[in-house]
Structure 1
């Protein structure tokens, strides 16, 4: 079986992008949960424009994909991306972030914008 390889420059760019704690945490959260920007705003206690900027960088890099649900956009990992194997191998070494989603649910903030 042939494994997809990516150029070293592209790998360096992706690793630099994931070197940001907020983006790395977002990607780990998206590994097991789809999320919207409003949820990330609550998790990171950051402004919507700041969160949108992080998500846009991940989307532009081909790590994250979006799906429209009514007026809301839901983000998920792009598991069909050529970069997914690199991202997935990195995420195996990162602690689970599901507690963040659980906290949102307990606060009644899980996908609150989409209801």
Structure 2
């Protein structure tokens, strides 16, 4: 697969964003499945505004995309981003987040929040 060369400033911004453990973990989870804010709240034990702020930063750089379903928004990794190849390479070196995904699926927070 041909990988694109990313502008230096964009690569630096992506690496800066992924330097945060929470955002790096979010992106690794999104590599495996889409999530809504309430599902991330379950895993990170953070407020909705804090989770939304992390996701906004990732979305602003184009690393994640959102899809509105009714009044809720689901987030996924943006595979069309020019940064995807770089992010995908980094994620190869990050542990899978199976435990966190199982935690989401077990607690099923979308039933409580109505997503």
TM-score category of the 2 structures, normalised to the smaller one = over 0.9
Aligned to 1:66: 66
Paired residues for 1:1-115 under 5 Å = 3-109=3-109, 111-112=110-111, 113-115=113-115
Task: For residue 98 of structure 1, report the CA deviation from its aligned partner.
Answer: 2.2
Shift of 1:42: 1.2
Pairwise CA RMSD of aligned residues? 1.4
What is the TM-score of this pair, normalised by structure 1?
Answer: 0.92
The Cα offsets for residues 79-109 of structure 1, whole Å up to 9 and x where unpaired, read as: 0111100000000000001221211222232
The CA deviation at 1:114 is: 4.0
Of Structure 1 and Structure 2, the greater helix share is in 2
The secondary structure found in structure 2 opposite 1:10 is: helix
What's the CA shift for 1:23? 0.2
User: Where does structure 1 lack aligned partners over 5 or more consecutive residues?
Assistant: none
Change (3 A) 1:81 1:96: same
Give, in whole Å, the separation in 2 of the partners of 1:65 and 1:35: 11
**Structure 2 alignment gaps of length 5 or more:** none
User: Aligned with 1:96: secondary structure?
Assistant: coil
